[in-house]
Chains A and B, each alone.
Chain A
């Protein structure tokens, strides 16, 4: 959680805690001081006043006794007036003390004093009356000693008890006030010490956290500046390489420019040659047409040859049929000759000459059969040759047909070539135009590349500046590290 706090947030939180502690300390101190003041006020306003009133009561009582004695001695009225005045003072003081001392024992003690005052005043009034009645002084003195002095002593005792009680009360109040003050001082000191310790702890935590945070940030800055330094170095190197590449590109573009001009010249030549080719293709088309007519005439001649050959084949078949007839006749002659030989043999000596003739006929028939076999062989050879010739001629006819078709294809191809050559001419002109446009574009590219080369040089200078700035940033981060961590090695 604390890692996500910012530097200002941490400082603000520390100061806020310190202000809160100071406020708490101030409130506690004010309350303690107020308690002490209240205690002292109570001591002064209640206990001390009561003690003063008690002292005044004692003095007024003494004053009243002295005024009575003065009258008894002098019988002067002024002593009686003074005694009456002292008595009223005593009554007033008793009333004030009764209002200031609300405790039960104080009330009882004041009531006793009130009764003792009344009894003493009554006894004193009686003695005064005796004096006024002209009674002898001795009687008056004796009466005074018998009635007034004991009551006076009793009153004095009671007043002394009251005074001592009030003195004790004053002492207790003073002691309680002192205890309150010391408790307040102790509380304030304790809270101050706690606040001081807390402040020290907060200061230490803040110092440590901020040192760590700033140290981390400084380390980050240092590493980043180092990386920036490396990147700037690489950028400078890259800018140098880019400048070299731009130089090469400029050279290449110059060559490309020259090549584009050559291409434009070549395209112009191609267009010229294509026009010549188109005229040649038209001439070739006419030549092919004439050749096609010649091929047609050849095809007709070949068809004629095929017809003659087929006639020859049919004639040879007819010859074969006639030859079969001759062969059959020869076979029958042979059989007849054989049978004649057999018959001649059966005729004995008379048929010997006939046997010779029959044998000659048989031999003649054999030779005819042999000749017909030879002729049949020749006829078969002729038929085979005719068949071969017909097949070859038909093959030639087919070849001529194929040649005619191929000439038709050639004619079509020549037309296509003429059309394509026309297209080529158009394309070559478009290439020429495009190449001229390309040349102007390449010139613009050359200018742009020169600008890029200039920019690359500026980038190189900027990269060097960045490198120097990164170096300064590295030094600054090391100084800052030394500031927050003096013991750290730079």
Chain B
């Protein structure tokens, strides 16, 4: 009896395999993938593009220096150079916490941002990154546009949306503020 059933079962498998060839999506071209660092700043989930970073370190001593910018945490020795460290939470308008992680900005001038927690590495396709929805009323507490002005994309996740920061935008804002302070000193 079992031999009588075996041919029909094989035929059923063949039929399903045949049908699945029509149900499967057509093969697509390889998409560009993006590597992101998943971090948590001021309790909020953010992501930083790996392409904008020059390094990720932790456990470094930050020496406090006097400055007119409240975002400046101090300077730290990274890769044999003194690098100014800014609080990413303060730059994004969040409450500053115990930031022990440092991420180096990939640029000509060495610049590091401190944040609270490093959650891991995310590899996403480019199509998964969505454009953010601008909310005019969501301005920062310090007169600027806050975090929203530095967000380029949002990434849907199971726990909600994760904003993708632009370190370039944050570094440019800091440079502008430093530039604005220098004539006042002269």
Residues of A in contact with B (beta carbons under 8 Å apart): 334-335, 338-339, 341-342, 345-346, 362, 366
User: How many of chain B's residues touch chain A, expressed as a range?
Assistant: 10 to 19
* Nearest CB in chain A: distance from B80 CB, A: 14
Q: Is B173's CB within 8 Å of the partner chain A?
A: no
Give chain B residues whose Cβ lies under 8 Å from the Cβ of A341.
35, 50
Give chain B residues whose Cβ lies under 8 Å from the Cβ of A342.
50, 53-56, 106
Give chain A residues whose Cβ lies under 8 Å from the Cβ of B53.
342
Instruction: Name the CB-closest residue of B to A369.
Output: B120
How many Å lie between the Cα of A269 and that of B15 in the bound state? 93
Residues of B in contact with A (beta carbons under 8 Å apart): 35, 37, 50-51, 53-58, 106, 120-121
Give chain A residues whose Cβ lies under 8 Å from the Cβ of B51.
345
Task: Tell whether, in the assembled complex, residue A338 and residue B56 are in contact, meaning their CB atoms are under 8 Å apart.
Answer: yes
Q: Can you give 9 contacting A-B residue pairs, CB < 8 Å?
A: A334-B120, A342-B53, A342-B55, A342-B56, A345-B50, A345-B51, A346-B54, A346-B106, A366-B120
* Nearest CB in chain B: distance from A214 CB, A: 126
Give chain B residues whose Cβ lies under 8 Å from the Cβ of A339.
55-57
Task: Tell whether, in the assembled complex, residue B121 and residue A362 are in contact, meaning their CB atoms are under 8 Å apart.
Answer: yes
- Contact A335:B121 (CB < 8 A) given known A341-B35, A345-B51: no
Give chain B residues whose Cβ lies under 8 Å from the Cβ of A345.
50-51
- Contact A335:B58 (CB < 8 A) given known A342-B50, A345-B50, A362-B121: yes
- Contact A338:B37 (CB < 8 A) given known A345-B51, A366-B120: yes
* Nearest CB in chain B: distance from A254 CB, A: 95
Apart from A339-B55, A366-B121, 5 more pairs, CB < 8 Å = A334-B120, A338-B56, A342-B53, A342-B54, A342-B106
Instruction: Name the CB-closest residue of A to B120.
Output: A366
Instruction: Name the CB-closest residue of A to B55.
Output: A339
How many Å lie between the Cα of A147 and that of B58 in the bound state? 222
How many Å lie between the Cα of A415 and that of B106 in the bound state? 90
Task: Tell whether, in the assembled complex, residue B54 and residue A338 are in contact, meaning their CB atoms are under 8 Å apart.
Answer: no
Give chain A residues whose Cβ lies under 8 Å from the Cβ of B55.
339, 342
Give chain A residues whose Cβ lies under 8 Å from the Cβ of B106.
342, 346
Give chain A residues whose Cβ lies under 8 Å from the Cβ of B58.
335
* Nearest CB in chain A: distance from B32 CB, A: 14
* Nearest CB in chain B: distance from A340 CB, A: 10
* Nearest CB in chain A: distance from B69 CB, A: 27
* Nearest CB in chain A: distance from B50 CB, A: 6
How many Å lie between the Cα of A339 and that of B55 in the bound state? 5
Give chain A residues whose Cβ lies under 8 Å from the Cβ of B35.
341
How many Å lie between the Cα of A341 and that of B54 in the bound state? 10
Sorted nearest first, the 9 A-B pairs with minimum C-beta distance are A338-B56, A339-B55, A335-B56, A342-B53, A342-B55, A339-B56, A362-B121, A342-B54, A338-B121
How many Å lie between the Cα of A416 and that of B77 in the bound state? 84
Give chain A residues whose Cβ lies under 8 Å from the Cβ of B57.
335, 339
Instruction: Name the CB-closest residue of A to B51.
Output: A345
* Nearest CB in chain A: distance from B98 CB, A: 17
How many Å lie between the Cα of A301 and that of B120 in the bound state? 49
* Nearest CB in chain A: distance from B160 CB, A: 22
Give chain B residues whose Cβ lies under 8 Å from the Cβ of A335.
56-58
* Nearest CB in chain B: distance from A57 CB, A: 190
Instruction: Name the CB-closest residue of B to A362.
Output: B121
Give chain B residues whose Cβ lies under 8 Å from the Cβ of A334.
120-121
Instruction: Name the CB-closest residue of B to A363.
Output: B121
* Nearest CB in chain B: distance from A300 CB, A: 50
How many Å lie between the Cα of A390 and that of B58 in the bound state? 39
Which residue, A341, A342, A345, has most C-beta atoms of chain B within 10 A?
A: A342
Instruction: Name the CB-closest residue of B to A339.
Output: B55
How many Å lie between the Cα of A339 and that of B37 in the bound state? 11
* Nearest CB in chain B: distance from A64 CB, A: 200
Give chain A residues whose Cβ lies under 8 Å from the Cβ of B54.
342, 346
* Nearest CB in chain A: distance from B104 CB, A: 8
How many Å lie between the Cα of A342 and that of B51 in the bound state? 7
Give chain B residues whose Cβ lies under 8 Å from the Cβ of A362.
121
* Nearest CB in chain A: distance from B59 CB, A: 9
Give chain B residues whose Cβ lies under 8 Å from the Cβ of A346.
54, 106
How many Å lie between the Cα of A345 and that of B51 in the bound state? 8
* Nearest CB in chain B: distance from A305 CB, A: 42
How many Å lie between the Cα of A272 and that of B121 in the bound state? 90
Instruction: Name the CB-closest residue of A to B58.
Output: A335
